[in-house]
């Protein structure tokens, strides 16, 4: 990893409170790897032998229910740690991490987690902050599933995605990775038919534009209003 300049990682949460020598020491223990789109980086239930930092690309975190259905729990964007089972006291991965597009990832043996958190205060505080934020997001998702109408849930899911990975394009804000209607249904606990009906309706009134694997929000304000509508 000597070709990767530690200054390039100074803005990333686990590293931004560390000095260059500390970042260098951590990078020297890292293993880089590229994953093609659609590749599982690790799978739910397997021994958590490594933890990861996403440098480029997007990761979809997938949980499997007791009935065998898949639920998309989170999306990970570049600059975030994932697979940090040790941070929540687990020795197995609680979910599957799937590369949404081509990804560049660094990883370390899980045995290094306690070393990093004990010896690098900035690494520990920033990493556990990320864990807390993700737990908060997942709790919010559970509340949404229990209390909101389907249209609200889908609207909030789309807004969450453009907040995390939106880029400005002609006519609106595009989710900057492949996303299908099936993915949205897996995120919101509803059916593909229902998501397709909603998206088609939103396209007709000018809220979104969508193709097979891409979504552009053309009127974010109206979508926010719809996501907050009660009843």
Shared domain for 205 and 130, answered yes or no, is no
- Is 165 inside any structural domain? yes
- Is 202 inside any structural domain? yes
- Is 1 inside any structural domain? no
7-66 pLDDT, tens digit per residue, is: 778 888 888 888 888 898 999 899 999 999 999 999 999 999 999 999 999 999 998 888
Q: What is the number of domains present in the chain?
A: 2
Shared domain for 136 and 76, answered yes or no, is yes
Shared domain for 183 and 81, answered yes or no, is no
pLDDT at position 1: 46
Shared domain for 45 and 126, answered yes or no, is yes
Residue 74 pLDDT class (50, 70, 90 cuts): confident
Q: What is the percentage of the chain residues whose pLDDT exceeds 70?
A: 96
108-133 pLDDT, tens digit per residue, is: 999 999 999 999 878 888 888 887 77
pLDDT at position 146: 66
Shared domain for 17 and 83, answered yes or no, is yes
According to DSSP, the residues that pair with 53 across neighbouring strands are: 81, 106
Name the more confident of 1 and 182: 182
Average pLDDT value for the chain: 88
Q: Which residues of 24-34 are buried (b: 16+ CB within 10 A; e: fewer)?
A: bebbeebeeee
Residue 229 has pLDDT above 90, yes or no: no
CB-side exposure of 178: number of CA atoms within 13 Å? 10
Shared domain for 126 and 177, answered yes or no, is no
Shared domain for 21 and 131, answered yes or no, is yes
Shared domain for 141 and 153, answered yes or no, is no
Q: What is the CATH number of the domain that holds 131?
A: 2.60.120.10
pLDDT at position 231: 52
Shared domain for 133 and 162, answered yes or no, is no
- Is 95 inside any structural domain? yes
What distance in Å separates the CA atoms of residue 217 and residue 228, rounded to the nearest whole number?
Answer: 16
- Domain end residue (candidates: 100, 127, 145): 145
Mean pLDDT within 62-84: 87
- Is 107 inside any structural domain? yes
DSSP the chain: -TTS-GGGGTTSTTTTTS-HHHHHHHHTT-EEEEE-TT-EEE-TTSB--EEEEEEESEEEEEEE-TTS-EEEEEEEETT-EE--GGGGT-SB-SSEEEESS-EEEEEEETHHHHHHHHH-HHHHHHHHHHHHHHHHHHHHHHHHHHHS-HHHHHHHHHHHHHHHHEEEETTEEEESS---HHHHHHHHTS-HHHHHHHHHHHHHTTSEEE-SS-EEES-HHHHHHHHH---
What distance in Å separates the CA atoms of residue 90 and residue 127, rounded to the nearest whole number?
Answer: 16
Instruction: Show the domain range for 157.
Output: 149-228
Shared domain for 63 and 131, answered yes or no, is yes
Q: What is the CATH number of the domain that holds 201?
A: 1.10.10.10
Residue 2 has pLDDT above 80, yes or no: no
Lowest-confidence pick of 9-13, 35-39, 92-96, 103-107: 9-13
- Is 43 inside any structural domain? yes
Among 109, 131, 187, which Cα is nearest to 155's? 187
CA distances from 201 to 16, 155, 173, 197, 230 (A): 44, 12, 18, 6, 19
């Amino acid at each position: 990893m000597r070709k990767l300049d530690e200054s390039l990682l100074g803005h990333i949460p686990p590293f931004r409170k560390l000095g260059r020598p500390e970042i260098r020491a951590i990078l020297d223990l890292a293993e880089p790897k590229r994953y093609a789109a659609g590749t599982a980086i690790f799978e739910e239930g397997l021994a958590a032998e490594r933890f990861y930092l996403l440098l480029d690309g997007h990761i979809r975190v997938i949980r499997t229910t007791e009935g065998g259905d898949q639920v998309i729990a989170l999306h990970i964007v570049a600059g975030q740690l994932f697979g940090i089972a040790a941070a929540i006291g687990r020795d197995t991965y609680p979910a599957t991490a799937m590369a949404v597009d081509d990804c560049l990832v660094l990883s370390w043996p899980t045995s290094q987690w306690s070393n990093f958190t004990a010896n690098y205060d900035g690494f520990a505080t920033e990493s556990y902050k990320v864990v807390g934020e993700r737990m908060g997001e997942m709790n919010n998702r559970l509340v949404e599933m229990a209390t909101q109408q389907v249209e609200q849930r889908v609207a909030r899911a789309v807004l969450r995605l453009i907040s995390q990975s939106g880029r400005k394009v002609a006519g609106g804000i595009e989710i900057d990775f492949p996303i299908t209607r099936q993915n949205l249904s897996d995120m919101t606990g509803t059916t593909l038919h229902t998501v397709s009906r909603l998206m088609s309706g939103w396209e007709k009134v000018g809220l979104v534009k969508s193709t097979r694997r891409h979504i552009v929000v053309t009127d974010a304000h109206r979508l926010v209003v719809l996501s907050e509508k009660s009843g």
